[in-house]
Amino acid sequence: MPGIFETSRCHLDSVGESYWGHQRFATKIGLTMIRAGAAALIHGVAPFLFESTASRAIKQLAALIENRSWPATLAARTERNGSRSANPYPPAQR
């Protein structure tokens, strides 16, 4: 069974990031999710507040994650399958 460091290294390699780059990215995602969640909770109580904050954050996070993982996902798929299979959902343009 692989250890925590080997598993972490495999994950970091699969996303093409250093430890600190990954920590920075994960922190950005986590804080954005917390803010969006808080806005959604407030919106549930007072529907006139934060009408589109959570949905906008979700769309931004989806685009950010898709753009970040696209090269690494394709490379990992290529290594596993030995061929480049086309992704039906190409990354959003920046």
Q: How far is CA 48 from CA 41, 42, 65, 77, 90, in A?
A: 12, 10, 29, 45, 35
Q: Of the candidates 74, 38, 73, 75, which has an alpha carbon nearest to the alpha carbon of residue 57?
A: 38
Query: For the chain, which residues make up each domain, given as ranges?
Result: 26-76
Phi then psi for residue 9, to 5 deg, are -60, -40
Radius of gyration of the chain (CA): 17
Tell me the pLDDT tens digit for each residue of 40-79.
999 999 999 999 999 999 999 998 888 875 444 445 544 5
- pTM given for the model: 0.62
